[in-house]
Amino acid sequence: MHNNTIAPRDAEWREQLRKAMTAKQRTAIPRVKMPELDPAYRITCNDEVNQGISAEQAVTEATRCLDCPDPQCVTGCPVGINIPGFVKNIQRGEPLTAAAVLKETSALPAVCGRVCPQEKQCESRCIYHKMGKEPVAIGYLERFAADFAAMAPENDWQSPAAVPVKAKIAVVGSGPAGLSFAGDMAKRGYAVTVYEALHEIGGVLKYGIPEFRLPNSIVDKEIDSLRRLGVEFVNDIVIGKTLTYDQLVAAGFKGVFVASGAGLPRFMGIPGENLIGVMSSNEYLTRVNLMGAGRPGWDTPVKKGHRVAVVGGGNTAMDSVRTALRMGADEAYIIYRRSEAEMPARVEEVHHAKQEGVKFMCLYNPVEYKGDEKGCVTTAVLERMELGEPDASGRRSPVPTGEYVELPVDEVIVSVGVSPNPLIPNSLSGEGLNVSRKGTIEVGDNMESSIPMLFAGGDIVRGGATVILAMGDGRKAAQAMAEKLEV
C-alpha cells in the first residue's frame, strides 16, 4: 500500500516519531472536540457550524495516532488516502506536506474533511475502538491540513499548472465523481474538459450541501486547484442535448466519463403532494444554495415556511430542515418512518439539528397533505408506524398502525431519495448503453459501460450515495481508463 507516496511509513522521521512516545502515553490523550458555533447564533445565519481545530489541537490529535504497521483506517477510505502519512506530517509540524499527501489520492480534501461520514469509514476501523476509546479524529485532521494549505501561497505546496500532453478526455458533470476523475486524469497528463449543465461548477457540492456545512468558497478553492492542474471547465452545456456523445467522439475525445448525478427527486405519490408549499429537497436546497433565494439582491424566490415538515432521515433531510430554521421557520420537524436508530443521516448532523431545535417525529409517515382554497398546504396527515422485521436494507422495517395524527404545516420538503438523471441514459439508449431497470448506467468492475471508452460513476451508477463513494468511482474510472489508453 502507498508505494508512491511522499510520506512512506519507513521514512526516518516517521520512525523517530513512533519511538518518541509510548502507545500508553498516546492513548491517554483525549480526542479533540470540534469547536462549533453556538446553536442560538448559528440558526440566524449561514456561517459554517464546525469552526475547525487549531494548529495546536491538530498536533495533539495527530499524536494520538499509533501509526499502526497495518493501518485499517486506510482500508475504510473509498479513495485509499495514506492516512497515517498525512496525520504524522501534521504531528511533525508539516501541514503543507500533509495536504500534499492528501492530494495524492483525493481531489477534494477540504470537502471530504467536512462531509465524509468518517465515523462509518476510516474512523470506524481505527485501532482505538479495540481499546474502547474514541478513534483518532481523522476527518478533523484532514480538514485542518486542507484548510491550512488553502491559506498558504499556492506555490508552497501545489504542483505548477500541468501541460496536458496526452489524449483529450471529456467529463459529464462537475460533482464529486467528475472532479475526482478530472483531477486524477489531469495528473496523468490528459487534457480534461469537464462539461456542466448548471451555471456553477461543483454539482451537489454547490446546489445541495448548504453553506453552513460546506462553504462554497471551499469548493471553489478545490476547483481552482484542479484548474491549475490543467482541467478545463465549461458550464451551461448539457451533454446529450447541447452536444451529443457522438459529437464528443467526433471532436477527438478518446474517453468520456459520465458523472451526471442523481437528478430526479422522488416523491411518495400520496394525495396533496402537488399542493403549493410541498417541494423536493432538491428544489428547496437549489433555490437557497445555488440560486441565493432569501438573500437580498438575488432574484430567485423561495417560500419561507413558519411550520416546516421535512420528510426523510438522510443527510439531505437534515440539510433541508436546518436550512428551514435559518430561513426563519418557527417550528421545523423531521418526519421519519423508522426510529432514530435506523436513520441514514450522519450522527453529527442529527446532533446538530437537535441542538438547533429541530423536532424529530420518528415512526411517522405522511399519507396525505391537505390545503386551503388557494392550493397552499396546511396540514400533513401522518400515520404512526411501528418497527417490524428487518427489510432488504437490513434495517427494521416500518409497519403502519392505522393511527393518524394531523400536523399543521405551511411547507413540506420531501427528502425521500432521488433517481438517476435520465438525460444521458435517454440520449444514449440508441447507441447500445446498458441501463438498469432503475435507470442507472450499468458498468463493469472498471467502471466502463457497455459502450467502449464510455465510463460512468457516482450517483448515475449508484442511484444515490455519498460524496466520497462518488469520488472513489471517479478515481477507479480514471485508473482503468488510463490503463486502457496506455496499452
Partner 1 sequence: MNKIVEKEHFSENVVKLVVEAPLIAASRRPGHFVIVRCGEHGERIPLTIADSDTARGTITLVIQAIGDSTRKICALEAGDFLTDVVGPLGKATDIQKFGTVVCCGGGVGVAPLLPIIKAMKQAGNRVVSVLAARTADLIILEPQVREHSDEVIIMTDDGSAGTKGLVTNGVESVINREKVDMVVTIGPAIMMKFVSLLTKKYEVPTVASLNTIMVDGTGMCGACRVTVGGKTKFVCVDGPEFDAHEVDFDEMIMRLRAYN
Only one of the segments 16-24, 90-98, 260-268, 477-485 lies at the binding site for partner 1 (rule: CB under 8 A); that segment is 260-268
Three-state secondary-structure class, residue 167: coil
Residue 279 interacts with partner 1 (CB under 8 A): yes or no: yes
Q: How far is the CB of 436 from partner 1 (least distance, A)?
A: 17
Q: Can you tell me which of 16, 22, 159, 274 binds partner 1, judged by CB under 8 A?
A: 274
Closest-CA residue to 278 (of 371, 417, 382): 371
Residue among 269 and 430 whose Cβ is closer to partner 1: 269
- Kindly determine how many residues on this chain lie close enough to bind partner 1 according to the rule CB under 8 A: 41
Residue 243 interacts with partner 1 (CB under 8 A): yes or no: yes
The residue whose grid cell reads 411547507 is: 411
Residue among 236 and 330 whose Cβ is closer to partner 1: 236
Residue 298 interacts with partner 1 (CB under 8 A): yes or no: yes
Q: Can you tell me which of 74, 194, 197, 209 binds partner 1, judged by CB under 8 A?
A: 197
Three-state secondary-structure class, residue 445: coil
Cell for 227? 484548474
Residue among 251 and 399 whose Cβ is closer to partner 1: 251
Residue 206 region, left (φ>0) first, then alpha (ψ -120 to 50), else beta? alpha
Q: How far is the CB of 21 from partner 1 (least distance, A)?
A: 51
Q: Can you tell me which of 238, 249, 367, 381 binds partner 1, judged by CB under 8 A?
A: 238
Cα 344 from Cα 386, distance rounded (Å)? 18
Give the E-state strand segments of 44-128 in sequence order: none
Cell for 14? 516517521
Closest-CA residue to 93 (of 140, 58, 46, 51): 58
Only one of the segments 1-9, 287-295, 308-316, 402-410 lies at the binding site for partner 1 (rule: CB under 8 A); that segment is 287-295
Residue 300 interacts with partner 1 (CB under 8 A): yes or no: yes
- Touching partner 1, residues 405-464 (CB under 8 A): 421-423
Q: Between the CA atoms of 183, 187, 192 and 195, what dihedral angle is there, to the nearest 10 degrees?
A: 10
Cα 177 from Cα 456, distance rounded (Å)? 9
- Touching partner 1, residues 356-385 (CB under 8 A): 374-375
The amino acid occupying position 478 is A
Q: Which residues contact 99 (CB under 8 A, 6 or more apart)?
A: 86, 109, 145, 146, 148, 149, 157
Residue among 160 and 297 whose Cβ is closer to partner 1: 297
Residue among 226 and 279 whose Cβ is closer to partner 1: 279
Q: How far is the CB of 304 from partner 1 (least distance, A)?
A: 12
Residue among 243 and 367 whose Cβ is closer to partner 1: 243
- Touching partner 1, residues 144-183 (CB under 8 A): none
Give the E-state strand segments of 94-204 in sequence order: 168-172, 191-195
Residue 301 interacts with partner 1 (CB under 8 A): yes or no: yes
The amino acid occupying position 463 is G
Cell for 304? 419561507
Q: Can you tell me which of 117, 263, 312, 472 binds partner 1, judged by CB under 8 A?
A: 263
**Chain centroid offset of residue 110 CA:** 11
Give the residues lining the site for partner 1 (CB under 8 A): 197-199, 207, 235-238, 241-244, 261, 263-265, 267, 269, 273-274, 276-277, 279-280, 282-283, 286-287, 291-292, 297-301, 303, 374-375, 421-423
